[in-house]
Chain A
Amino acid sequence: MTSLLRDARARFGLAVLALALLVAVFAPLLAVDPVLQRDIVATRFLPPFSTDVHGTFHPLGTDRFGRDVWARLAFGARVSLGVGLLAVLLSVAIGTVVGAAAGFWRGGIGVVLLGLTDFVLALPRVVLLLLLASLWQPSAALVIAVLGVTGWMTIARLVHGEVRALSERPFVESAVALGVKGPRVLMRHILPNALTPVIVAAALGVGNAIMLEAGLSFLGLGVQPPTPSWGNLIASGRDTLVNAPWVATAPGVALVLVVVAATLLGDAVRDRLDPAQRRGEMA
Chain B
Amino acid sequence: MVLGVITMMFFLIRLAPGDPALLLVGPTASQEQIAAQRRVLGLDRPLPQQYATWLGQFVQGDWGTSIATGRSVMAMISEAWPATVRLVGLSLVLSYLLGILVGATQASLGGRVDTTLSVVSVTLFALPGYWLGLMLVMVFTYWARVLPAFGAAGFDADYLTGWSRVADRLRHLALPLATLTLIGIGGTARYVRGAMLDVRGAPHVAIARAKGLSPVQVTVKHVLRNALIPVVTLLGLSLPALFSGAVFIEAIFAWPGVGRIMVEAVGARDYPVVMAATAVSAMLVVAGNLVAEALTAWVDPRIRTAANAGAG
Q: Which residues of A are at the interface with B, using a C-beta cutoff of 8 A?
A: 119, 121-128, 130-136, 207, 211, 214-215, 218-221, 234, 237-238, 241-242, 245, 248-249, 252, 255-256, 259-260, 263-264, 279-281, 283
Contacts and interface: CB of A to CB of B under 8 A. Distances in A.
Given A122-B1, A131-B278, A215-B130, A256 B123 contact: yes
B247 A130 contact: yes
Given A234-B134, A256-B131, A124 B285 contact: yes
A125 B241 contact: yes
A130 B262 contact: yes
B126 A241 contact: no
B240 interface: yes
Contacts of B194: 280
Counting contact residues on chain B (CB < 8 A from A), the size range is 35 or more
B248 A125 contact: no
Contacts of B17: 135-136
15 contacts: A119-B1, A121-B240, A123-B281, A124-B241, A124-B247, A124-B285, A126-B243, A126-B245, A130-B263, A219-B251, A242-B142, A252-B131, A255-B128, A259-B126, A280-B194
Interface centre among A125, A133, A135, A242 (most CB of B within 10 A): A135
Given A124-B240, A220-B267, A283-B197, 16 more contacts: A119-B1, A124-B243, A126-B243, A127-B247, A127-B277, A133-B266, A134-B266, A134-B269, A134-B271, A214-B128, A219-B251, A248-B131, A248-B134, A280-B194, A280-B201, A283-B201
Interface in B129-172: 130-131, 134-135, 137-138, 142
A124 B244 contact: yes
A207 B128 contact: no
A131 B274 contact: yes
B128 A256 contact: yes
A134 B197 contact: no
A241 B123 CA distance: 22
Contacts of B265: 134
Interface in B259-312: 262-263, 265-267, 269, 271, 274-275, 277-278, 281-282, 285-286, 289
B244 A126 contact: yes
A214 B265 CA distance: 20
Nearest to B123: A260
Contact of B12 (A124, A135, A249, A263): A135
Which applies to chain B's interface (DSSP): helix, strand, loop or mixed?
A: helix
Contact of B122 (A131, A241, A260): A260
B131 A234 contact: yes
Contacts of B275: 131
A121 B4 CA distance: 13
**What 8 A-B pairs come out closest when comparing CB atoms?**
A126-B244, A135-B16, A259-B126, A134-B266, A124-B243, A252-B131, A124-B240, A260-B126
Contacts of A130: 247, 262-263, 266, 274
Contacts of A133: 266
Contacts of B198: 280
Interface centre among A119, A121, A122, A264 (most CB of B within 10 A): A122
B5 A123 contact: yes
A124 B281 CA distance: 7
B143 to A, nearest CB: 9
B240 A125 contact: yes
A123 B12 CA distance: 15
A207 B16 CA distance: 29
Interface string B30-49: 00000000000000000000
Contacts of B1: 119, 122
Contacts of B245: 126
A135 B12 CA distance: 8
